[in-house]
Amino acid sequence: METAASSTSSRCRYSYEEYKETADWLLAQTEQRPKVAIICGSGLGGLADLLGDKQVFKYEEIPHFPTSTVPGHAGQLVFGTLQGRECVCMQGRFHFYEGYDIHTVTYPVRVFSLLGVETVIVTNAAGGLNGSYNVGDVMLIKDHINMPGFAGQNPLSGHNDNRFGDRFPCMSDAYDRKLMALAKQTAEEQGCGSFLQEGVYCMLAGPSYETIAECRLLQMLGADAVGMSTVPEVVVARHCGLRVLGLSLITNKVVTDYDSPEKANHEEVLETTQRRTQDLQRLVSHLVTKI
* 19 is an active site residue: no
| Non-local CB neighbours of 272 within 8 Å, separated by 6+ positions | 43, 125, 135, 136, 249, 250, 251, 252
Catalytic residue among 14, 19, 68, 73: 73
Give how far Cα 127 sits from Cα of 17, 39, 157, 218, 254, Å.
38, 18, 28, 12, 6
Catalytic residue among 23, 203, 225, 228: 228
Q: Would you call 127 helix, strand, or coil by DSSP?
A: strand
Q: How far is CA 181 from the centre of its chain?
A: 19
Q: How far, in Å, CA of 205 to CA of 199, rounded? A: 20
Closest CA to 251 of 92, 91, 39, 44: 44
* 64 is an active site residue: no
Q: How far, in Å, CA of 277 to CA of 282, rounded? A: 9
Catalytic residue among 23, 37, 74, 125: 125
* 28 is an active site residue: no
* 107 is an active site residue: no
* 98 is an active site residue: yes
Q: Label the pairing between strands 196-203 and 138-146.
A: parallel
* 229 is an active site residue: yes
* 95 is an active site residue: yes
* 162 is an active site residue: no
Question: Do residues 175 and 142 touch, judged by C-beta distance below 8 A?
Answer: yes
Catalytic residue among 14, 19, 23, 42: 42
Query: 156-174: string of b/e by CB count within 10 Å (b at 16+)?
Result: beeeeeeebbeeebebeeb
Q: Would you call 185 helix, strand, or coil by DSSP?
A: helix
Query: 253-271: string of b/e by CB count within 10 Å (b at 16+)?
Result: bbbbeeeeeeebebebbbe
Which amino acid type is present at position 49?
A: D
Q: How far is CA 109 from the centre of its chain?
A: 10
> What residues act catalytically?
42, 73, 95, 97-98, 125, 228-229, 252, 266
